[in-house]
Amino acid sequence: MTYSAEIKPGIEALKSALPSGAWTQDPDLIDPHLREWRDKYFGETPIMLTPRNTQEVSMAVKICAEHKLPIMPQGGNTGLVGGNTPQGEILISLKKMTVIRDVNTTANAMIIEAGATLQSALDAADGADRKFPLTLSSQGSCTIGGVLSTNAGGNHVLKYGTTKELVFGVEAVLADGSIFDGLTSLRKDNTGYDLSRLFLGAEGTLGIITAASLKLFPKPNYVQRALIGLDSAADAVSLLEPFRAGGRLAMFEVMPAIGYRAVVDNFDNVRDPFADQHPWYLLCDWDVDSEEEGLSIAENAIGKYIENNKIKDAVIAQNETQAADILSIREHMSAGQKFLGGSIKHDITVPIDKIPAFFLQADAAVENIIPGCRPVGFGHFGDGNIHYNIAQPVGADKERYLENWDALSQPIFDIVEALGGSISAEHGIGIMKRDDLAQRASPVKMKLLRAVKHALDPDRIMNPRVMV
């Protein structure tokens, strides 16, 4: 591989200092790490580092700092905003750092390395009769470091909070190669700033998370699941308060008919449990002590609203197999939209009571810009997070349609801003929304973000194109 003369000494220093198994310039090995899974971003790197432990990460970063080489850390490469696709930076993949260092059931804490998949964390917690309540459709491939760096949300924010609320602390390598050890299981510690939280949602711009201490919870004895047919998004929002009475509600996911049909009509292993079609669908979970309690809660909650015709139909899971079948519809929502053609995607959040207003305004706005486009707004209504995707008009040219990304995005962001929401709920800023953040955030916020960045990374070598 060829690379410019000015970075050659740094590349050679990395190759000399690191073990042979901790770096590669083989294009066949590097190529999968240079393309985003939606094929929106493609990149390049002069070398990919694959450190096996925190000390090797530290050594690599020290060399990069000495030679002023920019760095892009990468987890499972499942990011959606361009923050994980290198454009000439040194690529540091954490995929070999997968050790679960400790599971402490007394402290309800687990220490796990950044390259471990989210699924491995879920399995480790389950094996200790505990629950780690972060679930994502990409959990088999996304990594702990990536999830923490983007502050992912998932389906259980309603009850357990975002990733930031599920972390005791982190271990991270700073821009000068020094190691910050914030691994702890302490629930109370008032010794200054909560430094670990700086790295959560920072997208690798302040340092590289190498391990984390995660919060575990008692595993519920039983999870009661139900799928409900509705007439409108407003009807779904109106059910949130009565459904979460008693504190048992753990999931409140809403899907429109267009997205629902894209899944049940195109995947052989997914079936529609309803005889009739509905404009909207609501998926709920209640964490309960017994199957009897779960059925009672679901039947009482749903029965009242079937009687007044707000709920059109419902399926209450009777066993784990049926519960898994229902959940698979939601888990296939992202993949199902590929059958609709090109899709312009947004990850936004608005106050929960503003969700119906958002849909009324956003649907009208995009239809006015591109007649025939098809909004697919779905997601975590229980915490206000909507994945507002806009599928191309039927028969439209995909590539030409995707050229309208900015034209459709700005009106959506205007509506979100007017409703007191956020243009990024759980996917992060990356490079996709970097300019939007700079334009829409307050000057004071941008000043503080840049000050923190400069304090921890004065030479701007840590993911320098991302966020700020």
pLDDT tens-digit profile of 329-366? 999 998 999 999 999 999 999 999 999 999 999 999 99
Tokens of 219: 């595993």
Cα of 115 vs its chain's centroid, Å: 16
Q: Can you read off the two tokens belonging to residue 443? A: 């000057």
pLDDT at 91 over 60: yes
What residue spans define the domains of the chain? 5-93, 100-218, 222-335, 341-427
In this structure, what DSSP letter does residue 243 have? H
Q: Which helix (H) or strand (E) holds 344?
A: strand 343-344
Give the model's pLDDT for residue 184: 95
Provide the 3-class DSSP secondary structure of residue 21. helix
CA distance readout (Å), 63 to 7, 56, 361: 11, 11, 51
- Local structure of residue 289 (DSSP, 8 states): S
Q: Alpha carbon 274 to chain centroid distance?
A: 30
CATH number at 5-93: 3.30.43.10
**How does residue 183 score in pLDDT terms, banded at 50, 70 and 90?**
very high
Phi, psi of 413, rounded to the nearest 5 degrees: -65, -35
- Look up residue 57 and give its amino acid: V
Contact 420, 361 (CB under 8 A): no
C-alpha to C-alpha distance for 25 and 137, rounded to whole angstroms: 31
Share of the chain above pLDDT 90, in %: 86
Query: Does residue 229 contact residue 239 with C-beta atoms inside 8 Å?
Result: no
Half-sphere exposure of 444 (CA within 13 A, CB side): 0
Rounded to 5 degrees, what angle do the CA atoms 381, 360, 440 make?
75
Task: Answer whether 400's CB lies under 8 Å from 358's CB.
Answer: no
CATH assignment of 222-335, given 3.30.450.20, 2.60.40.10, 3.30.70.20, 3.30.70.2190? 3.30.70.2190
The average pLDDT across 280-307 equals 94
Topology match between the domains 5-93 and 100-218: no
Buried-state track 281-316, b at ≥16 Cβ within 10 A, e below 16: bbbbbbbbeeeeebbebbeebbeebeeeebbbbbbb
Six-digit token string for 195: 């430094």
pLDDT at 216: 98
CB 58 within 8 A of CB 178: yes
Mean pLDDT of the chain: 94
Strand-pairing partners, residue 74, are: 93
Question: Which residues, at least 6 apart from 211, have a Cβ–Cβ distance to it below 8 Å?
Answer: 54, 97, 101, 111, 112, 113, 114, 170, 171, 183
Query: What are the pLDDT digits (tens) for 359-383?
Result: 999 999 999 999 999 999 999 999 9
Q: pLDDT grade, residue 2 (50/70/90)?
A: low
Residue 244's alpha-carbon distances to 223, 303, 311, in angstroms, are: 14, 15, 16
Average pLDDT score over residue span 284-296: 95
pLDDT band at 156 (very low <50, low <70, confident <90, very high): confident
The mean pLDDT of 415-439, rounded to a whole number, is: 92
The domain defined by 341-427 folds into Alpha-Beta Plaits (3.30.70)
Task: For 72-123, give the DSSP string.
Answer: EEESSS--SSSTTS-BSSEEEE-TT---EEEEETTTTEEEEETTSBHHHHHH
Q: Which tens digits make up the pLDDT trace of 98-107? A: 999 999 999 9
100-218 adopts what CATH topology?
Answer: 3.30.465
Average the pLDDT over each of 130-144, 190-204, 291-305, 448-462 and give the range with the smallest value: 130-144
